[in-house]
Structure 1
Amino acid sequence: MTTRSLFATPIYQASLAGEKGFETFIDDLHDACVAIAEEDEAGQAWAYNKGYLGYTSYASLNDLPQRDSLFADLKKKLDKHAGAFAKDLCFDLGAGKLVMDSFWINILEPGGQHTGHIHPHSVISGTIYVTIPPGASALKFEDPRLPMMMAAPNRLADAPEALQPFVYVQPAPGTILLWESWLRHEVTPNQADEQRISVSFNYAWR
């Protein structure tokens, strides 16, 4: 008898932490994120109007690489990881290519969260983690088959990760996570006493 695993849901994880100059790069990136957040009145207003406990540049800025060379350097690093993930996924891109078409800062205050969502119109989405104090939120991934499991029993608590209905990934500064954009995910409430800072992005196929 054989049990086969079909229709996998890959998650790509890497880290910048081993790179030369990482500590300086991540500290400078933290400062750049905070500085932009302090200047971005439109982003602050969006967060206030939406009741978002923190700040995001998602709805206000689309030019981070032009604003600060740190983000241009970061984009180059992320492009390489996105390319590696696309190769792992065996994507047939044909004459097209993956293009980063959105790139934004997230700052979660203590108690802040980002409820479950997907990223429409994109192929690969991801986040690079900048500041992760003790108790900071994990990223929660949801099994995409859950809506079809109307009569299925719960999984055992010690079931393998690949069979769990939800998987929590706890990042560290420099962690890069990539996933296919249709995968539902959320940021759990920030239990830290300080801000949790990350930079998220989407890649489209063009």
Structure 2
Amino acid sequence: MSAQLVGLFDTPIVVDDLPNAAAVNAALKPLILARRAERPGVTISNIGGWQSEHDVADWGGEPVQHLLRHVFALADAHCVDIASPGAPRHRWVTDIWVNVSPPQASNQMHTHPGAYWSAVYYVDDGSEKGDGAIGGELVIEDPRMPTVLMTMPNLRLRSANGSVHEPQLKMKVRSGRIIMFPSWLSHGVVPHQGVSDRISIAVNLAAVPRHPA
């Protein structure tokens, strides 16, 4: 066939590995576990695990600042102020917390209203070698759900690259990895089957004017 297929409205998902991740994780893990021992935590999207208050930047020290600098750089590299491309007029304001998830813990599907980018960093994926536990994928959902499955659940569209469109993307994780995505995407975590607690840090970035009007 001579038909041309054009893909529209690309949604960026950024995957990167944090520089010096082994040293950063070695410093962060005891801080996080000590905090969990001291504080009851909160329950928001977490099911069966511990979630910290949103104050990690206050006690995470240089390891957390190193992570945030890298997340800022990723965010800057993957968006542009089209009215001022050489001098962006915004700055990033962060909201940051920790999840400690024992085997079988998960996070329900949710979004982050008010944020522009959301990122998750894996301090310890819960596997024996830090190379990804079985299960526990980060699930990112097509924002058109459930509409895309309502008329014919098993009929899928073909993407511009020829692949079959799926309404959910399940992303495997591993220690030292960052996954960043637009905050309006619904996302969650399925139960992991690792041998120990999974430790992750979640970051929301809100864009605010650099200079108040």
Please tell me the TM-score bracket, short chain as reference.
0.7 to 0.9
With over 3 angstroms needed to count, the CA separation of the structure-2 counterparts of 1:137 and 1:98, relative to structure 1, is farther
Number of equivalences: 192
1:67 aligns with 2:56: no
Matches within 5 A, 1:1-206: 1-16=3-18, 19=19, 21-41=20-40, 43=41, 46-47=42-43, 52-57=47-52, 60-62=53-55, 64-69=56-61, 70-86=63-79, 90-92=80-82, 96-132=89-125, 133=127, 134-135=133-134, 137-149=136-148, 150-155=150-155, 163-206=165-208
Distance 2:177 2:46 in 1: 28
Q: Give the partner amino acid of 1:65.
A: A
Deviations 1:54-102 (A, max 9, x none): 1111xx342x22313121222122211221222xxx4547664241320
With over 3 angstroms needed to count, the CA separation of the structure-2 counterparts of 1:148 and 1:55, relative to structure 1, is same
| Aligned partners of 1:137 and 1:196 also within 8 Å | no
Q: Give the partner amino acid of 2:179.
A: L
Q: Which has the larger radius of gyration?
A: 2
Equivalence for 2:130: none
Greater helix share, 1 or 2?
1
Distance 1:93 1:203 in 2: 20
Work out the percentage of aligned pairs sharing the same amino acid: 25
Q: Give the partner amino acid of 2:192.
A: N
TM-score (norm 2): 0.80
| Aligned partners of 1:96 and 1:205 also within 8 Å | no
How far off is 1:148 after superposition?
A: 2.7
| Aligned partners of 1:65 and 1:71 also within 8 Å | yes
How far off is 1:105 after superposition?
A: 0.4
Q: Give the partner amino acid of 1:167.
A: L
Gaps of 5+ in 2: 128-132, 209-213
Distance 2:78 2:8 in 1: 19
With over 3 angstroms needed to count, the CA separation of the structure-2 counterparts of 1:166 and 1:68, relative to structure 1, is closer
TM-score (norm 1): 0.82
